[in-house]
Copies of this chain bind each other. A is one copy, B any other.
Amino acid sequence: MAAIQARSRRIGGDLVPGCTRPGAVAEGNGVPEKNAHLNRLAERTMSTDHQRLRIDRMTPGYWKVTLSNPPINLYDPEMFAELRVLMDQIEEDKDIKVVFDSADPDYFISHYDILRRDVLPDMPGSAPFSEWPTFVTRLAQSRVISIAKVRGRARGHGSELALACDMRFASCEKAICAQIEVGCGAVPGGGATEWLTALAGRSRALEIIVGADDFDAITAEKYGWVNRALPDAELDGFVDNVARRIASFEKRPLELAKKLVNARAGIPSEAERWSSNQSFFTTTTWPETQALIGEMLQKGLQQRSDFELRMGHYVVHLRRKNETT
């Protein structure tokens, strides 16, 4: 079953007028080295067939952005580089509503591509990681209205991208949400702890994060992780309707209404983002975490495998030093 509808106009990664250089806006924010690296990545992929984002301008004010990185829609530095270019574009335009979906019905975003450390100049504090919490907060605070349409697995960065969107709608049959970091010896960064605690409350956030299991869309809806779980056959139509409806409204009340909700709901603060992200970095350097990731790679991590499809199941069957079962 096709996850992507026929496109009215395929425009791909072309840039809007006034924003011809990838990452131009973000370049001056004090981390020129890292951003320059990301900008080069974006320039490289977006000039080829390997671009990660496919942009359909459904209407002038409603863009559909399809995440596509075969074979399992890993989030990688190139995808992040293109996401940052996209943000520059839609913020420049000032009147865009954006729907994120995926080209792969099994994976919204599987998770971060942990084998792409080679391209990162200074892991683990490199731009694709350390800029990620900044990016998701920027998306949440933007005047852009963003919607995640989740089919397939949204784990790690995938869950975090969806959580930073203003709304999330998920396929009852096909969506799986997970923050599986604790099962791999790490803790979530990128806002997951902040968003989930606010949306699902302390106890369900603990179940999600400490239990580190896969959650179906019905449970994710109960927990507030997604706005709604919809039958897969209705998902595209429902989300398209919401996006077109919002895109038809005047931009001034939209912008003001979002600002007021953000002011009341609270967006993760700089301090919260920094501390969560530092926690994530630190845990990834622990030897037990490194050992677990090594074993996971042998068992099918990052491949089109049953391990990736059912990671919540397999993560409890790893060899651990504190084996207690």
Contact = CB atoms under 8 A, between A and B. Distances in A.
Task: Tell me the number of copies of this protein.
Answer: 3
A324 interface: yes
A60 B324 contact: yes
B283 A252 contact: yes
Interface string A155-198: 00000000001111000000000000111011110000110011
B61 A324 contact: yes
Interface in A208-226: 209-213, 219, 221-222, 224
A193 B245 contact: no
Interface stretch (A12-20, A28-36, A199-207, A299-307): A199-207
Interface stretch (A39-47, A114-122, A255-263): A255-263
A62 B204 contact: no
Interface stretch (A77-85, A104-112, A125-133, A315-323): A315-323
Contacts of A209: 257, 261
Given A249-B183, A288-B250, A272 B279 contact: no
Given A224-B201, A264-B272, A283-B253, A210 B325 contact: no
A182 to B, nearest CB: 5
A279 B256 contact: yes
A297 interface: no
Contact of A265 (B186, B197, B261): B197
A183 to B, nearest CB: 6
Contacts of A321: 250
Contacts of A283: 252-253, 256
B265 A187 contact: no
A55 B250 CA distance: 41
A199 B197 contact: no
From A59, A185, A249, residue with most partner B Cβ within 10 Å: A249
B197 A264 contact: yes
A130 to B, nearest CB: 18
B279 A202 contact: no
A267 to B, nearest CB: 8
Nearest to A212: B249
A198 B204 contact: no
